[in-house]
Structure 1
């Protein structure tokens, strides 16, 4: 299909730069990276090509001239959409045999090499492209991507990883120098620092991305969302709420970008919650709640977001109450252990039914060895001061009360 990238973005080949940007935000809301990563990559590739005037011009020329070359590139693009990278590489090599100077084909070939983890080939291509086209920021960014993706395969602290990230940042910096208004290379640099757990630098570069075009607006959502990710990774999920408020203040009501932002926050919150169910890290539940609360506030008419947020909020409330009950001297230790049991049981952390039964019997033995008045006082305190803990297993608490009240 001719003009494949325009069809992917569902726009005309005469579309303006603003129309391209609007189409991109409309489609990425519909096909988010969390739900449909392959379609998102297609949209991203089309946008990256058409949003750069020089690269777009090169692309358009190839659509208008040379039927054989055009056909081969179209076939290669389709193979790339299907992630058939080897087949796409073969087709692009045929193009370069016929027309060695076609930059569009070389750029696509470089992307294929990145996806097939042929880092050296990818870097070689982009070195050549940046040498002949030193003023095209996209080629510098793609070379940075090749270095960055390779670095991600090494363990933290390895010299190769450090050197590759340095190379990546050098390339992204060239892109920044060429297009200081473009937030993408700033965020790419921030990503390298996040992977290195250098949270301060990651946040600094994300803020640079927000201010790249001289103003903070809805176009800066990705940078704001990245900052939320940094706060999550650094264990400061309470700061997510502040960033969410900044985002809400910038996004117009009832727009595609607002719905897209809400879906991104919701998807992130759901993934964190799923991960939290498999670990004893209660802070992950707090982080999940912050992301889902942001989604709820961004799209207040979404019933699904509200219901999910309410469920996670109750879990977080129970966790908070568990941490409080552990330090409450008015509640006997046996009930403090029972609170921990209820949380563990809720998340199904026990390896076997026998382990669960043994743990519960041990806790009940300790509780029932206490004076009746002390047991009743602890039960009353839990019921009225820690309702979320009590609600995790109402039946169990009521059975204990029935047993101790028997003459």
Structure 2
């Protein structure tokens, strides 16, 4: 069994103030957004030791430690082997030896969740909450059971109870937010988060987690003005020390990368702007911002009705071709080839390329892009098989791009 006193770095006879202080120190060392597993362990230790009743229960465990240790080792083996039926039997044996040990009941509740026996798990946590009504962790787990059963109103009820006990707990804030979002109540999620941010009538670094959740909500709502406003608030709360700035930039950068993978370039770009202001010297952020910015320009180009459609094909293929199926790409190139076989088609294409060069220099001046257009215009002027040559050029440049990034 884990030694909760060691986890919080306090003595076994520590008073409540020392336990609180130990928890806060470990939380600063292992923030939940960056060290989720470690945070879970720290929170478990704190929730157990801050309550006199649960602490007494925990201390009682050591009276039976010798008998229980072997069984707990067995339980760990079964859990690692995902043999949840045998793990359940072992936990029940331990409770026969010492029925008052709350953390064993907690583990049994978790096993029931893994077995998808949510009603059994609910019974466990309802009893635990009666014994320990101030235990935030038990309330969260009860709420998650109801979430799994798709009973969102009951889930939110228990999450809110947990929040009222500890409104600084990021897991609770996260669960409440996603419960509203999952129930198509995005405005309620936004209202809750704004109230959480304003609860102490000041905006500071402690509000970062709720602000990061707000960003997600505004993206779902496609609300760019409020997203920009939230990003400005995040910029204001960033402490002056480099470590804190790097943490915020890391968190936002990770979010921006996820948006980039989802092809949500405009929002990714706005978030990366803040990252660059916080940590302008991080190469990964610089490179991602450059790539996102190019993709934003591509989308603008594709929406530009004043530029001849076929002249956009090389750029679209270069950036997004790998997302197209082969038949679509074939039809796209056949259309381009057909148009470039006619004199008027060639003129329109050349005119479109010239406009791209003038209006979208960031795209055109990319070495690979300008090379594609130069070679394509040369090939078209020779009257050769455009489709075959263009595919060869595109394939070579795509390989170069993949290898050299």
Paired position in structure 2 for 1:191: 178
Higher relative contact order (CA 8 A, sep 6+): 1
Residues 316-349 of structure 1 deviation map (CA, whole Å, 9 limit, x = unaligned):
22222332x2x21xx33xxx23314531442213
Measured in 2, the distance between the counterparts of 1:288 and 1:402 equals 37
Q: Kindly report which structure 2 residues correspond to 1:136-285, keeping only aligned pairs within 5 A, or say none.
A: 136-148=135-147, 150-151=148-149, 161=150, 164-179=151-166, 184-212=171-199, 215-236=202-223, 239-254=226-241, 256-276=243-263, 284-285=264-265
Paired position in structure 1 for 2:102: 103
The residue matched to 2:30 in structure 1 has which SS? helix
| Aligned: 1:360 with 2:340 | no
Q: Residues 258 and 374 (structure 1 numbering): CA distance in 2 closer, same or farther, change over 3 Å?
A: closer
Q: Residues 72 and 186 (structure 1 numbering): CA distance in 2 closer, same or farther, change over 3 Å?
A: farther
| Aligned: 1:308 with 2:288 | yes
Q: Kindly report which structure 2 residues correspond to 1:11-30, keeping only aligned pairs within 5 A, or say none.
A: 11-13=9-11, 16-28=19-31
Paired position in structure 2 for 1:112: 111
TM-score by length of 2: 0.77
TM-score by length of 1: 0.76
Paired position in structure 1 for 2:397: none
Q: Residues 368 and 114 (structure 1 numbering): CA distance in 2 closer, same or farther, change over 3 Å?
A: same
Residues 179-221 of structure 1 deviation map (CA, whole Å, 9 limit, x = unaligned):
4565653442222011123210111112233244554432332
Paired position in structure 2 for 1:351: 325
Paired position in structure 2 for 1:35: none
CA contact (8 A) 1:85 1:112 kept: no
Paired position in structure 1 for 2:59: 61
**Deviation at residue 80 of structure 1 after TM alignment:** 9.7
CA contact (8 A) 1:314 1:388 kept: yes
| Aligned: 1:386 with 2:386 | no
Q: Which runs of 5+ in 1 are unaligned?
A: 33-39, 152-160, 277-283
Paired residues, number: 371
> Structure 2 residue aligned with 1:319, among 299, 302, 318?
299
**Deviation at residue 383 of structure 1 after TM alignment:** 0.9
Measured in 2, the distance between the counterparts of 1:355 and 1:389 equals 23
Q: Residues 47 and 88 (structure 1 numbering): CA distance in 2 closer, same or farther, change over 3 Å?
A: farther
Measured in 2, the distance between the counterparts of 1:76 and 1:190 equals 38
| Aligned: 1:50 with 2:50 | no
CA contact (8 A) 1:296 1:305 kept: yes
Q: Which runs of 5+ in 2 are unaligned?
A: 384-405
Measured in 2, the distance between the counterparts of 1:393 and 1:267 equals 28
Deviates more, 1:192-201 or 1:312-321: 312-321
Paired position in structure 2 for 1:157: none
CA contact (8 A) 2:146 2:155 kept: yes
Q: Residues 385 and 401 (structure 1 numbering): CA distance in 2 closer, same or farther, change over 3 Å?
A: same
